[in-house]
Amino acid sequence: MAIDVSELDQMQSRYKSSVEAWVSAIRQEEALASVNHTVAQVDQWENAADLEEEARNNAKAAKKNYEDALRKEFFNF
C-alpha cells in the first residue's frame, strides 16, 4: 500500500522541525556552560541538559517514523 506523498512530506517536516528544536536546545545548554559559575546557573544548566535530551529523543523518534515510512514505501518492509 502506497503512502500518500503529503504524509511523507509531513513526516519529513516533523523530522526537520524536531532537529531544529534539538539544535536550539544544544545551543541553549552550551550558552549556560559558557557563563560565570553559580549554583543557580548549574541548576539551569542541568535543566537545559534534560531539555536537550528530550529534544534529542523527539528528533530520533521523528527520524525513525520517517525512515520507516520510506522503507515501507520503497521496499515494502
Q: Are 21 and 51 in contact (CB under 8 A)?
A: no
Q: What's the average model confidence in pLDDT over 19-45?
A: 89
Q: Are 19 and 60 in contact (CB under 8 A)?
A: no
The C-alpha cell at 72 is 515501507
Dump pLDDT digits (tens) for 57-70.
999 999 999 999 99
Cα gap 19→31, rounded to integer Å: 18
State the pLDDT at residue 27: 96
Domain enclosing residue 14, as ranges: 5-75
Where does the pLDDT of residue 16 fall: very low under 50, low under 70, confident under 90, or very high at 90 and above?
very high
Checking if the pLDDT of 51 tops 80, the result is yes
User: How does DSSP assign 13-46, residue by residue?
Assistant: HHHHHHHHHHHHHHHHHHHHTTS---HHHHHHHH
- Contacts (Cβ under 8 Å, ≥6 apart) of 35: 41
pTM for the full model?
0.85
Domain count, the chain: 1
